[in-house]
Amino acid sequence: MFAELPAHASELKQRLARFMDEHVYPNERALLAPPPESSRWAPRPLALDLMREAKAQGLWNLFYNHGPEGQGLTNYEYSQLCEVLGRSLAAPELFNCNAPDVGNMEILAIYGTEQQKQHWLKPLLEGEIRSCFAMTEPRVASSDATNIETRIERDGSDYIINGRKWWVTGAPSERCKVAIVMGKNDPTAPRHKQQSMILVPMNAPGVRVERALSVYGYEHAPLGHAEVVFDNVRVPAENMLLGEGRGFEIAQGRLGPGRIHHCMRFVGLAERALEIMCARAKNRFAFGSTLSDMGGVRQAIGLSRCEIEQARLVTLKAAWAMDRLGNKEARNEIAVAKIVVPTLTGAVIDRAIQVHGGAGLSQDFFLAEAFAETRFLRIGDGPDEVHREALARFELSRTA
């Protein structure tokens, strides 16, 4: 661990930081402001322009290491770039590095057939379309994915899908053209062999995006999250991913890298929060001194530095373990990062809000939305308790 970045990755990181300075921060408010009601789910021309620019500069598909469309970076290397682009909530999409598309591209690259890759992976890698991942359901506790009730039933040369999903990130966007849907094809099979994943075009008859969901009031349009109904949706059998009953196998492969990417982006957000916390504290006067001269604020700053270092180290260790051992063998390191990082970075951002006073809660700073984002990850991709339970099982299993 702690190896210097190789020249290629280091040069990419510098160019990425320059792009953030020149194009992302100056446009951040415009990129994150709620769009007009009439074009809520339409792509923003500014975002499309910046995507073209990032692509032209070769700052594209930085996460992808399954072929020449990406940059060939290891998880350890990409994590360090992810920290840079994670500094702004507006940035990941501009580099084609946003959730859930990244995870879906990973699935298609690893488990997709040639035909599935041509049809869906290619345009996703080009940034021409977007995708969503539909697993969670309102009716059942979905942190236990064996509960998922959506049915995927074979009918001749097709499958028919029936179910209700929610928290489907990206589904409301006009650019979202395909969903990866998880559902049961055989409720009588052993518990972890009942679920499959299948590709469903968003324009297939019977797919209905019923309503958008907000996070602490943030709608995240034009990407957004939605409740989606699959009502007798018919897709050809070749849309099945990997094979019937192999949904859990795919879920395992998908979630490792995605979790680490979230964590590293949060380290970037927290680092930026600490920077503006210090700047604000030095320039704000109260009760005869600057805020930065007050003991409580100084403690907040020192503690924040400690927590960012902890968050970065556990994430880099997980990325390093994934490179050396594979996603499955690195699952404990991934779980530790997934539990620890949103809490630590959320605490840093919360302190930055406090030091900013009312301004910290307003739309004038990125802090309020960043806090909501870190809070979401204590539930999204599996709640903290589920990951702690998995760690406990492992620790107990190796104690006589």
Residues that bind ligand FAD (CB under 6 A): 100, 133-136, 141-143, 167-169, 215, 225, 376, 379-383, 385-386, 389
Rank residues 46 and 213 by Cβ distance to ligand FAD and give the closer one.
Answer: 213
Give the C-alpha separation, 75 to 325, whole Å: 12
**In the complex, what is the shortest distance from the CB of residue 388 to ligand FAD, in angstroms, rounded to a whole number?**
8
Rank residues 17 and 212 by Cβ distance to ligand FAD and give the closer one.
Answer: 212
Rank residues 170 and 268 by Cβ distance to ligand FAD and give the closer one.
Answer: 170
Give the C-alpha separation, 276 to 317, whole Å: 27
Rank residues 25 and 218 by Cβ distance to ligand FAD and give the closer one.
Answer: 218
**In the complex, what is the shortest distance from the CB of residue 169 to ligand FAD, in angstroms, rounded to a whole number?**
3
Rank residues 69 and 389 by Cβ distance to ligand FAD and give the closer one.
Answer: 389
**In the complex, what is the shortest distance from the CB of residue 330 to ligand FAD, in angstroms, rounded to a whole number?**
20
Three-state secondary-structure class, residue 112: coil
Please answer whether residues 131 and 120 qualify as being in contact, where contact means their C-beta atoms are separated by less than 8 angstroms: yes
**In the complex, what is the shortest distance from the CB of residue 383 to ligand FAD, in angstroms, rounded to a whole number?**
3
93 DSSP assignment: G
Rank residues 233 and 300 by Cβ distance to ligand FAD and give the closer one.
Answer: 233
Q: Identify the sign of the CA torsion 110, 115, 116, 119.
A: positive
Rank residues 54 and 100 by Cβ distance to ligand FAD and give the closer one.
Answer: 100
The two structure tokens encoding residue 149? 């009730």
Instruction: Please tell me whether the peptide bond between 100 and the residue prior to it is cis, using omega within 30 degrees of 0.
Output: yes
Task: Provide the CA 292 distance to its chain's centre, in angstroms.
Answer: 34
Sheet strands (E) in 117-218: 130-134, 151-155, 158-169, 176-184, 195-201, 207-213
Rank residues 361 and 386 by Cβ distance to ligand FAD and give the closer one.
Answer: 386
**Spatial CA neighbour of 275 closest among 335, 218, 355:** 355
Give the C-alpha separation, 353 to 184, whole Å: 44
**In the complex, what is the shortest distance from the CB of residue 33 to ligand FAD, in angstroms, rounded to a whole number?**
19
List the beta bridge partners of residue 289.
Answer: 286
**In the complex, what is the shortest distance from the CB of residue 390 to ligand FAD, in angstroms, rounded to a whole number?**
9
**In the complex, what is the shortest distance from the CB of residue 213 to ligand FAD, in angstroms, rounded to a whole number?**
8
Please answer whether residues 252 and 106 qualify as being in contact, where contact means their C-beta atoms are separated by less than 8 angstroms: no
Rank residues 131 and 185 by Cβ distance to ligand FAD and give the closer one.
Answer: 131
**Spatial CA neighbour of 254 closest among 180, 191, 177, 324:** 180
**In the complex, what is the shortest distance from the CB of residue 128 to ligand FAD, in angstroms, rounded to a whole number?**
20
Look at the block and give the residue holding tokens 């041509």. 118
How many residues appear in the chain? 400
**In the complex, what is the shortest distance from the CB of residue 309 to ligand FAD, in angstroms, rounded to a whole number?**
27
Number of Cβ within a 10 Å radius of residue 397: 7
